[in-house]
Structures are given as C-alpha cells and as structure tokens.
Chains A and B, each alone.
Chain A
C-alpha cells in the first residue's frame, strides 16, 4: 500500500518535466540551446502570480473549465500505474473509469470554450469533440485488447502482468498494434505534431489551444499543468506497454517507468522536429487508423488459441 502511494505525488511533481524535455529535444534539432527543461515550472509559477481577466459574457462554466480539467486529470492519475509501480486505487474495470474521467475533463474544457461565445473557441470545441469521438474508441478498445491478453481487468494488475509471459504467449504480438494506437492517441490527445501544433500562434489552425485562448493568469496555469499531467498519464500508458520491464523490485520498476516516459517525451520531440503537421482533414483518418489497430488487436487476441 505504501508503494501504491508513490506514483501520484511523483507524477504531480515531475509531469512538467515532460514538455521541458520535448522542447529541449526540438531545440537540439533546430541547432539552438533552447530553454532549460525546468522552464515549464517557471512558466507555471509566473502564471500563478498573475491576475485573471474574465469576459463579461462568460458564466461559472467558463471558470469551472480549468478546475474540472485539472481535477479529472488528477483523478485519472489516481487510477494509473507506472509500469510495474501500482496505482493508488485499483479495482476491476477501472480502465473504463480512467478513459471517462479524462473525457469528463474534456467535456468541461469544451463547455468552457463554448461559454465564451467566441467563433474561434466554438471552432476549436467542434474540432476537439470531432477528434475525441475517434480517439476514445481507439483507447478503450486498445485497453480491452490488453485486458483480454493479460486476463486482468484493472489497470494496475494489467500493467503488472505485462511481462514476457503475457507478451510471448499466442496473441501477444498483436499488442504491438495497441502500442502503435496508444502512441497515436498520445500525440493526438496532447495536441502534438502531426495532429496539432502546440507552438503555433495561428488560431485558425489550432485544435486544442484555440479553446483556451480566453483563459488567463492562474487558470491558464492550471490548464498548462493539467496538460502536462495528461501528457504524463497517456505517456505512462504507452510506455508501460512499450517498455515491459517488470522486475518486481519497486525501485527498479520505478526507474524503468521513468525511463519509459522520458523516451516517449524524446520520441515526441524527434517527431515534432522531423515532420510537418497534417492537414486537418487527415487527422480524422489517422485517428480512425488507430481505432482500426485497436479493433484488429482485440480480434487477434480473442482468436488466439
């Protein structure tokens, strides 16, 4: 039990490192020194010290958006193991709760965006929901395929079981499809290239970022922090499968989990450095491909002897 209390505080503390690492990798590829990996912490500190501006047309929904987004992402982290490191809370079927707690955060972000009545934010909200409708089934079905293969129904036991024994028995290689789907979902849900460009200033091209244009000061800080937590959460899902090191020794598992997350962050930085973002109409096609991977994996796992 003491061990299971470890992941949540670690995630809350270290999550902003991930965007820092991504930016450092991008800077390296561009031939720049780039900001320190701790820059996101300083940015958060800066935002928390600022005042916020509210539009007169907004209601409590607008203010609730960032808070619910942060609360729901934190709640998702409560259910999330890091590789072999157990989650704070685990029960059969918690993977469904995990997916929908994240969806709740999205729902409120979208509602807050619509609350402003801005054409930009409405556009972003519509895009977010459009893409979420495609990535949610991909995530759930991917998790279902893993659950079937491992024979476990809670995230903690499922990820703890992902060792050679599970991966090498018939049906195991199908989980590679799930890994691909999880990586696609990871990039799309965290608005990274090739789906969205986190650095752009062009509102018309944004998906996620355009929804939070009206938030300022501490609330924008909460949004940024929630975004890095989400990066951590989905990164942990992907890396837990991609780096199936399960030693049973907690400290080694923890170290492996960390390494996996940093590798995923570096992978993101490399992707962003070497490719352009997709045309908006192609985003849905790639997400549909992720869903297809998950379905295929589920079918293969089910039909394995």
Chain B
C-alpha cells in the first residue's frame, strides 16, 4: 500500500502525486494490495492530454479507512490482472473496450456495453457454451415480460440445473460518463442524479462530494444531515420494495401487496423533503437546495413511526411463513470466499458475511460523526440478502428518526469555488445497492478531463451469475430479485 497515493474518502490531491508505475510494478502493487485485503473500487483508463491512455486504480482499504491510487501508462498492452485477481475482470474488459490498450492474458475479453462506434450490435458476441447432448441453452431477454430494464441472460442448462449463466448488458448505454466530462456545468448534477434512477441520492451525493473536494468547499453540517436523511430514506424505500418483490416472486401475496404500498409511503416522505419522490433536485454541490422546518420534521417523524410499524407487520409475515423461508433458504448461495474474490459490495456482500460498509469503513458526510450499525448475515443465500435488507430498513429508520430529532442548525449551502486544476478526487458513498465510487480528474482549466462512475451493480452482476451455478433455473428470477441490480447504472 505504501507505493500508492493515499487519500481519504472525499479528498482531492494533485494528479502529479499519483505514482505512475511501470506495468509490471503496477500489476505487482495492485495484486499485493488486493492480497492484503484491499478492494478494487475503480480501475479505468483515461485519455491523456499527451495522447495515449493512463490507467488508474483506486484501492479501498476498509480496515485502515483509506483509499490508495496507483497509475500506469502501458502502451498497446499489459499483463492482465484478472487471472490473479478476479475482481478486475469487468474493469479490464471495460478498459479493453474504451481504450486502445489490451489486457493480454485476460481469460474472457469481450465487450461490456457495445458503445456505438463498435461494429457489433448490442449483445452480439460468442457466449460461453457447455457442450454435450443433454445440455440445452436458454436465452432470456433483452425484452422481458415484467416492467424491468433490458438485459440478456444466457443459461447453459442440464435439465433444470444451471451449469453456467452469462449476462450481457449494455442496452441502456447512454454515454453519461462522457457527458459528465468537460463539466461541471449546470447539467452535471442532474446527470449524476440520473446515473441510476433509483439511486438518485447515492449518486448525487457522490458527485457533490467529488466537486466539493476539488473545489475545497465542505458542505455545512445541516446539509450533510439532510443528505443522510434522504440517503437512508432511499435505502428504506428500495429495500421495502425489494422485500415485497421477493415475496411476489415466490407467490406470497400479503407481503407483496403491503410492501408495494409501504415503498410508496417511504418515497412520499422523501417528497416532503424536496418535492420529488426520488429525491431529485435536493442535492447541490456545496449543500442542499431544500430546508425543513420544525413542523415538517414533526410530520416526517410521525410518518416514519407509522412506516416502521407497518413495515414490521408486513415483513415479519415473511419470516413467520415456513413456505417462504423454505423457499429463500439455500437458494442462490454465494460463498464468503467467492464474494471476497469477486469484490462484491453492499447488501449482497454483507449477506455473505463480508462485513463492509462505506458508511463505517470509509465514512463520509455526517457518517463521520454519527454511526449506523452495519447489518450482515452469514449464509449468502436469498434469505440472507432479504434479511440484511430488513435489518438495514430498521436501522436506517431508527437513524433517520434520531437525525431528524437532532438536526444541526446553520446554513444550507456553501458556494463552491472554481475547481482546482490537475487534481484527482475520489468520492465513495454507500447507496442502497452498495458502494458507489466516483473518480473525477480535472484538467488545466479546472474542468473534468475524466469522470469515472462505478455503480455497485458493476461489482455485483458477476456475483449473480455465480449464485446461479448448480441452481434450478426456475430459481433465477428469485435470485435476480434478491440482488436487484441496476442495468442503467451498469450501462451508464
């Protein structure tokens, strides 16, 4: 770890301080750090002003609570990390797709998002195939029966058992990262908020924090507290919605119906805060755009109280029904070892027993002063993921109620000065799906020369593919819902 540039979450540093290593040294340093327990939070290539590409790896050390940045500037190709570090798998495919650099020796070098100039239509590639007379292939999507996003799933099945699942996404690629570079401008914060529509506050906060780091302007305490209220409400709404959908997928009506309504209640509380059920237009670089008064706080607290009570009665039906728990348990298992190697994040990782949470390990905003307990489970199955979500709902509701009771006073927003030039900032937040990582690099004019977004889904999609190994194909929808990953957050 000593070799990298060490930053705290939400801190900026001059770009020149990022060590640029030779390809072999870079590989060695990253592997060593990952071997010592760090996670690859981001790993991407960016176009250099001098031409060519620079690789930048962001390693998160959860025990020390620091981030370490390493750079390399290989020409044409370098020895891929993936064979020794599976969590680099998708990152290197992305580098291969976006830069003229080939990670040689990558076991599965394929497109990630099929961006427009590429010749292949989205999803057109060689899929992994299992040979054999009794093996059959099932292709699902990209058009699905439900109201969900498009994605293609290719199953290799032996009877009802899935031997292998390959997931091909990219249908939602909008080029948001490219649109963000050249900023910040008036649009940037809105682009950040729509990186994944259901994670408005998570991504919005990560963006704001990156800009604040680069502009050296910390948001005032009241704004940080209100951001945390919105972030936790987002978590509550989505987790409740997921628990209801999980119930729906096993045909358990009572929880499904009530959670559908309760998710709406949670969204409505967010709307009281800023006028938008999804928390749009609340966050601004330097602070927040909306305040609450005592009366509103009182009403929100009362509604949260009701929400907590009703959610408990709806969700506890799940744990009290043997037909449901029997269905959830031992379905879609991911072992702790696999979870660690793949670098899973968020509830999916915590359900495997990996005790990590950006809010505690790399605290940001109000979480530096106010602690929220980390919820984890040991089993790594659908039940574990559902259980972690429910624990988080309860703890978030408790946290928001306490926070609303002790909101710091003062102003809401600080003006962000012009961004520092030739700097890099790393900003992590814990969205409801897990760790969100934004890396912003500024040019000589203080504009983003590169803006990298890593949605938790980017880490976790492969976890879903692995969870299906050896499972019944009929369990796929349930496993998929238990991860509930974002397509557009992945496709960007």
> Which residues of A approach B to under 8 Å, CB–CB?
26, 29-32, 119-120, 122-123, 126-127, 193-194, 197, 199-205, 272-282
The answer on a CB contact under 8 Å between B474 and A276 is no
The answer on a CB contact under 8 Å between B250 and A277 is yes
Q: Which of A123, A277, A278 contacts B138 (CB 8 A)?
A: A123
Contacts A30-B257, A119-B138, A276-B251 aside, 17 further interface pairs with beta carbons under 8 A come to A29-B254, A30-B256, A31-B257, A119-B137, A119-B139, A194-B251, A202-B145, A205-B249, A273-B253, A274-B321, A275-B252, A276-B250, A278-B323, A278-B327, A279-B326, A279-B472, A280-B160
Nearest 8 A/B pairs, CB to CB: A30-B257, A276-B250, A202-B477, A276-B252, A197-B251, A201-B145, A277-B251, A275-B323
CA distance A272 to B476 in the complex (A): 22
B247 in the interface (beta carbon within 8 A): yes
Which residues of chain A are within 8 angstroms of B327 by Cβ–Cβ distance? 276-279
User: What is the CB-to-nearest-CB distance from A134 to chain B, in angstroms, rounded to a whole number?
Assistant: 15
User: What is the CB-to-nearest-CB distance from A113 to chain B, in angstroms, rounded to a whole number?
Assistant: 14
B476's nearest neighbour on chain A, judged by CB, is A204
Given A202-B145, A275-B321, A280-B160, answer yes or no on A30-B139 (Cβ-Cβ < 8 Å): no
The answer on a CB contact under 8 Å between A30 and B254 is yes
The answer on a CB contact under 8 Å between B254 and A276 is no
Which residues of chain A are within 8 angstroms of B476 by Cβ–Cβ distance? 204
In this complex, which of A26, A193, A275 has the most chain B Cβ atoms within 10 angstroms of its Cβ? A275
Q: Which of A31, A203, A275, A280 contacts B472 (CB 8 A)?
A: A280
A213's nearest neighbour on chain B, judged by CB, is B145
User: What is the CB-to-nearest-CB distance from B145 to chain A, in angstroms, rounded to a whole number?
Assistant: 4
Which residues of chain B are within 8 angstroms of A282 by Cβ–Cβ distance? 326
CA distance A31 to B310 in the complex (A): 14
Q: Which of A29, A123, A275 contacts B473 (CB 8 A)?
A: A123
Among B443-486, those with CB < 8 Å from A are 472-478
Which residues of chain A are within 8 angstroms of B38 by Cβ–Cβ distance? none
> Which residues of B approach A to under 8 Å, CB–CB?
136-140, 145-146, 159-160, 247, 249-254, 256-258, 321, 323-324, 326-327, 331, 472-478
CA distance A290 to B327 in the complex (A): 21
The answer on a CB contact under 8 Å between B477 and A276 is no
Q: Which of A126, A202, A205, A273 contacts B254 (CB 8 A)?
A: A273
The answer on a CB contact under 8 Å between A272 and B251 is yes
CA distance A273 to B255 in the complex (A): 10
User: What is the CB-to-nearest-CB distance from A147 to chain B, in angstroms, rounded to a whole number?
Assistant: 34
Which residues of chain B are within 8 angstroms of A273 by Cβ–Cβ distance? 253-254
B248's nearest neighbour on chain A, judged by CB, is A200
CA distance A280 to B157 in the complex (A): 15
Which residues of chain A are within 8 angstroms of B159 by Cβ–Cβ distance? 126
Q: List 7 A-B contacts (CB under 8 A).
A: A31-B258, A120-B138, A123-B138, A200-B251, A272-B253, A274-B321, A278-B323
Total A-B residue contacts, Cβ distance less than 8 Å = 83
CA distance A26 to B475 in the complex (A): 24
In this complex, which of A120, A197, A204, A274 has the most chain B Cβ atoms within 10 angstroms of its Cβ? A204
CA distance A201 to B478 in the complex (A): 12
Which residues of chain A are within 8 angstroms of B326 by Cβ–Cβ distance? 279, 282
Given A193-B251, A201-B145, A202-B145, answer yes or no on A276-B137 (Cβ-Cβ < 8 Å): no
Given A119-B137, A203-B145, A281-B472, answer yes or no on A276-B323 (Cβ-Cβ < 8 Å): yes
The answer on a CB contact under 8 Å between A205 and B324 is no
CA distance A142 to B253 in the complex (A): 32
User: What is the CB-to-nearest-CB distance from A123 to chain B, in angstroms, rounded to a whole number?
Assistant: 7
The answer on a CB contact under 8 Å between A199 and B254 is no
Which residues of chain A are within 8 angstroms of B139 by Cβ–Cβ distance? 119
Which residues of chain A are within 8 angstroms of B258 by Cβ–Cβ distance? 31
The answer on a CB contact under 8 Å between B323 and A194 is yes
CA distance A190 to B67 in the complex (A): 57
Which residues of chain B are within 8 angstroms of A126 by Cβ–Cβ distance? 159
The answer on a CB contact under 8 Å between B474 and A201 is no
In this complex, which of B137, B140, B258 has the most chain A Cβ atoms within 10 angstroms of its Cβ? B140
A281's nearest neighbour on chain B, judged by CB, is B472
User: What is the CB-to-nearest-CB distance from A188 to chain B, in angstroms, rounded to a whole number?
Assistant: 14
Q: Which of A119, A120, A193, A202 contacts B249 (CB 8 A)?
A: A202
CA distance A119 to B250 in the complex (A): 22
Q: Which of A26, A201, A276, A279 contacts B321 (CB 8 A)?
A: A276
CA distance A194 to B475 in the complex (A): 15
User: What is the CB-to-nearest-CB distance from B70 to chain A, in angstroms, rounded to a whole number?
Assistant: 42
The answer on a CB contact under 8 Å between B146 and A202 is yes
CA distance A234 to B454 in the complex (A): 55
Which residues of chain A are within 8 angstroms of B247 by Cβ–Cβ distance? 276
The answer on a CB contact under 8 Å between B253 and A26 is yes
The answer on a CB contact under 8 Å between B323 and A204 is no
Which residues of chain A are within 8 angstroms of B145 by Cβ–Cβ distance? 201-203
CA distance A274 to B323 in the complex (A): 9
The answer on a CB contact under 8 Å between A201 and B160 is no
CA distance A258 to B175 in the complex (A): 62
CA distance A275 to B145 in the complex (A): 24
User: What is the CB-to-nearest-CB distance from B481 to chain A, in angstroms, rounded to a whole number?
Assistant: 9
CA distance A120 to B160 in the complex (A): 12
The answer on a CB contact under 8 Å between A122 and B136 is yes
User: What is the CB-to-nearest-CB distance from B151 to chain A, in angstroms, rounded to a whole number?
Assistant: 14
CA distance A193 to B145 in the complex (A): 20
Which residues of chain A are within 8 angstroms of B160 by Cβ–Cβ distance? 123, 127, 280-281
Given A122-B136, A201-B145, A275-B323, answer yes or no on A280-B474 (Cβ-Cβ < 8 Å): yes
CA distance A282 to B254 in the complex (A): 22
CA distance A279 to B256 in the complex (A): 18
User: What is the CB-to-nearest-CB distance from B254 to chain A, in angstroms, rounded to a whole number?
Assistant: 7
CA distance A137 to B146 in the complex (A): 36
CA distance A120 to B141 in the complex (A): 12
Which residues of chain A are within 8 angstroms of B137 by Cβ–Cβ distance? 119
CA distance A197 to B323 in the complex (A): 14
User: What is the CB-to-nearest-CB distance from B150 to chain A, in angstroms, rounded to a whole number?
Assistant: 15
A207's nearest neighbour on chain B, judged by CB, is B474
CA distance A113 to B321 in the complex (A): 35
Which residues of chain A are within 8 angstroms of B256 by Cβ–Cβ distance? 30
Q: Which of B257, B324, B473 contacts A32 (CB 8 A)?
A: B257
CA distance A88 to B203 in the complex (A): 69
User: What is the CB-to-nearest-CB distance from A52 to chain B, in angstroms, rounded to a whole number?
Assistant: 19
The answer on a CB contact under 8 Å between B136 and A119 is yes
Which residues of chain B are within 8 angstroms of A278 by Cβ–Cβ distance? 323, 327
Which residues of chain A are within 8 angstroms of B251 by Cβ–Cβ distance? 193-194, 197, 199-200, 272, 276-277
CA distance A32 to B260 in the complex (A): 12
Which residues of chain A are within 8 angstroms of B136 by Cβ–Cβ distance? 119, 122
A200's nearest neighbour on chain B, judged by CB, is B251
In this complex, which of B251, B258, B323, B472 has the most chain A Cβ atoms within 10 angstroms of its Cβ? B251
The answer on a CB contact under 8 Å between A30 and B253 is yes
User: What is the CB-to-nearest-CB distance from A39 to chain B, in angstroms, rounded to a whole number?
Assistant: 18
